[in-house]
Structure 1
Amino acid sequence: MKTRPLTIIGVSLLVFGLANVFRYIPISIIFISQPFPFEHLQNVIPTESGTHFEVGYLPIDEAINDPYWLFWSLTLYVGIGIVTFVIWKNTKSVPDDFVSK
């Protein structure tokens, strides 16, 4: 199988990207109208009923100082692209005898 190394690379990139997406979910439960992933913890306030967290949002210009989010999101997209290409390539090369009509 010629696409085996490509499959391993694609799945690895996809898993790395998805792991980072799931890592950010607890701090960004709702992705709508939030400047994801430019959140940061501003303050922790202890109260009688527990702890209250204040989350602030960094401006988009701060992305240049922390490019890790760009790296993992691009690896996620590249992983999706490679896995899609490998699936397309493998389905394209299936002989007509195995395709049900």
Structure 2
Amino acid sequence: MAYDRTHSFFYAAPPYWQTEGYGVPFDFDQYLQLAEMMRTCKGKVMVSINDHPDIREAFKGFWMEGLDIKYSTGNAQGTPQTSRELVITNWEPAVMGGLF
């Protein structure tokens, strides 16, 4: 039986743009390459990343939804922080009943 990429799902969580702590280089060109891969991919692709104007521009034309995510940094006594996250897909989630 042949592998059908049209029914594949790919999820990417690249390093957040303009943040510290990953310890590996991830130039802006790599976000542009990811966006191009999403344009040409025959399967469904979802990316989650920080909500930043540069990222919105790099992935312009795709479906996007901003979410406020609460997280803690391992300090159970600390106050949870809120981060603005962005979910980007190369398909229209409403067609499938939505994501959330």
Q: Which TM-score band (shorter chain)? A: under 0.3
User: Which is greater in Rg?
Assistant: 1
TM normalised by structure 2 equals 0.23
Bigger relative contact order (CA 8 A; separation at least 6) = 1
The structure whose residues are more often strand, as a share, is 2
